[in-house]
Amino acid sequence: MDCVFERLVSALEDLSAGRVDSRRVFHGRGRCFPGVEFLTIDLYHPVLSIVLFDEVPEAWEREFVARLSALIVDTPIQGALLQRRYDAGAPAEVIFGTIPEQVFARRGDQRFHLKLGQRQNSGFFLDMEPGREWLETRCEGKTVLNLFSYTCAFSVVALGAKAKHVVNVDMSRGALSQGRENHRLNGLPAEGSKYLAENVLKSWGRIKRPGPYDLAVIDPPSYQPGSFVAKKDYLRVVRRIPELVKSGGEVLACLNAPEMGEAFLRRAFVEMCPECTFVERLAPSPAFPDVDSDRQLKLMVFRYSPSAYAST
């Protein structure tokens, strides 16, 4: 448990120094910290979000809550929320202070609406930061396709970096509605973004119409029966790249499935879109260490170059 509190102390020192960007404070899921593989802690100032993925002994939990409360009682932290992901419905309870009615993820001057303690997803994925940074550096003046956009964080980042236009596609109208709110929250012009509530696998016509795109982000769920199962459906998306992306355009292919490694994505592009060449795999966020890099979030960049492929 000491390794957990060492990282909490460091995060609180940063907070006191005015560094309030949201972050993963402790990541046990990567199995780098024996004995606490079941625990993650995120800081969304002024709230700590704690998740238990396995049931723990009562004595361990009592000690953890007592030490946590003593540590944060005189700090800017207003509340701590503990979610039991191992229980049906993933119930959450406040274990310290109070949780403000509105909590935001913070990224520099940008903010994103959160829904803490609701099932699995809060509304903002902290481990995706290397992908957001990649997009931010190359999207100025470009058109961006954001597939499986969820709450449109990529779109907010792209438009904040002066992208010309972003098309967000997700089958969840609720997620897209939260995405619109994220754009309004950050003062982004409505005309810069478009929202398509579509099943990506069935609505290519509407998705293609605003294209072709300079950049495309593919960030699907790994396993969502009835809508998307990565092992078979990712290939169907990759096959459509020639219809969606300009020659010379880039694709950020994301996959958060521990059981499917980097080789799966490489093979998907070789088989389904050989006109794409592999450029690089983005380095994972250091806040999410893992003993096996193949189990981490995969963020892989490909370039669509049909003319180069044709000449080989």
All domains in the chain, ordered by first residue: 2-113 (3.30.750.80), 126-310 (3.40.50.150)
Q: What is the mean pLDDT of residues 109-116?
A: 95
The region, left, alpha or beta by phi > 0 then psi within -120 to 50, assigned to residue 41 is beta
**pLDDT tens by residue, 211-256:** 999 999 999 988 776 778 888 999 999 999 999 999 999 999 999 9
Q: Read out DSSP for 219-283?
A: ---SEETTTEEHHHHHHHHHTTHHHHEEEEEEEEEEE--TTS-HHHHHHHHHHH-TTEEEEEEPP
**Is residue 163 scored above 70 in pLDDT?**
yes
pLDDT of residue 308: 66
pLDDT of residue 213: 98
Compute the mean pLDDT over every residue in the chain, rounded to the nearest whole number: 94
Residues in the chain: 312
pLDDT of residue 28: 97
Please, which pLDDT band fits residue 310 given cuts at 50, 70 and 90? low
Q: What is the mean pLDDT of residues 255-267?
A: 94
* Residues whose CB falls within 8 Å of the CB of residue 238, separated by 6 or more in sequence, listed in order: 218, 253, 268, 269, 272, 273, 276
User: Is the Cβ–Cβ distance between 216 and 249 less than 8 Å?
Assistant: yes
pLDDT of residue 229: 86
Q: For helices 230-238 and 262-272, what crossing angle results, to 10°?
A: 40
Joined together, the tokens standing for residue 245 give 């992306």
Neighbour tally for 112: CB within 10 Å: 24
pLDDT of residue 203: 85
pLDDT of residue 119: 67
**pLDDT tens by residue, 266-303:** 999 999 999 999 999 999 999 999 999 999 999 999 99
167: nearest Cα among 114, 118, 207:
207
pLDDT of residue 309: 67
Q: Cα–Cα distance between 308 and 178 in angstroms, integer?
A: 40
Joined together, the tokens standing for residue 131 give 């992908």
Please state whether the peptide bond connecting residue 91 to the residue before it is cis, i.e. omega within 30 degrees of 0: no
Joined together, the tokens standing for residue 48 give 């700590």
**pLDDT tens by residue, 195-205:** 999 998 888 99
Neighbour tally for 67: CB within 10 Å: 15
Q: What is the mean pLDDT of residues 133-140?
A: 97
pLDDT of residue 125: 96
| For the chain, percent of residues with pLDDT exceeding 70 | 98
How far is CA 128 from each of CA 91, 154, 231, 297, 298, rounded to the nearest angstrom? 25, 9, 21, 8, 10
Q: Cα–Cα distance between 222 and 116 in angstroms, integer?
A: 21
Q: Which of 49-53, 88-92, 221-225, 230-234 has the lowest mean pLDDT?
A: 221-225
Joined together, the tokens standing for residue 208 give 């293609």
Joined together, the tokens standing for residue 104 give 């935001």
Q: What is the mean pLDDT of residues 110-135?
A: 92
pLDDT of residue 148: 95
pLDDT of residue 121: 80
**Is residue 118 scored above 90 in pLDDT?**
no
**Is residue 143 scored above 60 in pLDDT?**
yes
